[in-house]
Amino acid sequence: MNTSKIIAAAAFTLLAAAGAQAESYQGVLTIAGQNSRAAVAQQAVVAAHSANPYTDTYGQGVQPVLASSVDRAVIRSQAVAAAHTADPYAEGASSGVAPMLASSIDRATVRAQARAAARGNFAAL
């Protein structure tokens, strides 16, 4: 059994040695450019000042100014009126103003009942 272990270890070592070959280092990749530094710098300036071809609106040209037939003062007055109205997104905004309900109970009686309830005197209620 000892011999079979030695043979297996030797076979494993041979396989590991065959698979463990490192790449040879070729150094840093150098690219020999055809343009001078000044020409590259000039191209960079041109590219920086030109339109971005990766935007959504590339190639559409200058957008025209939209002319409106409504006077600026009318739009402003409508905006001010809308700003002074109630918040349309508030809870219960569409229900309008809550009506004032008339009660037959005296205000002093309601206040006395509230004080009694706050003190835990439920017999007075």
DSSP per residue over 89-125, as a string?
Answer: TSTTGGG-SPPPPP-SS-HHHHHHHHHHHHHT-GGG-
Structural tokens at position 63:
């957008």
pLDDT of residue 18: 61
Q: What is the pTM of this model?
A: 0.26
Extract the residue ranges of the chain whose pLDDT is less than 70: 1, 15-22, 91-99, 123-125
Taking the C-alpha atoms of residue 44 and residue 36, their distance in angstroms, rounded to an integer, is 12
pLDDT at 42: 95
Tell me the DSSP string of the chain: -HHHHHHHHHHHHHHHHHH--PPPP--S-----SS-HHHHHHHHHHHHHS--TTSTTTTS-SPPPPP-SS-HHHHHHHHHHHHHS--TTSTTGGG-SPPPPP-SS-HHHHHHHHHHHHHT-GGG-
What was the pLDDT predicted at 19?
A: 62
Give the pLDDT of residue 27.
Answer: 76
pLDDT for 74 equals: 92
Which pLDDT does position 20 carry in this prediction? 60
CA distances from 89 to 60, 75, 85, 92, 94 (A): 38, 22, 11, 8, 9
Q: What is the pLDDT of residue 35?
A: 87
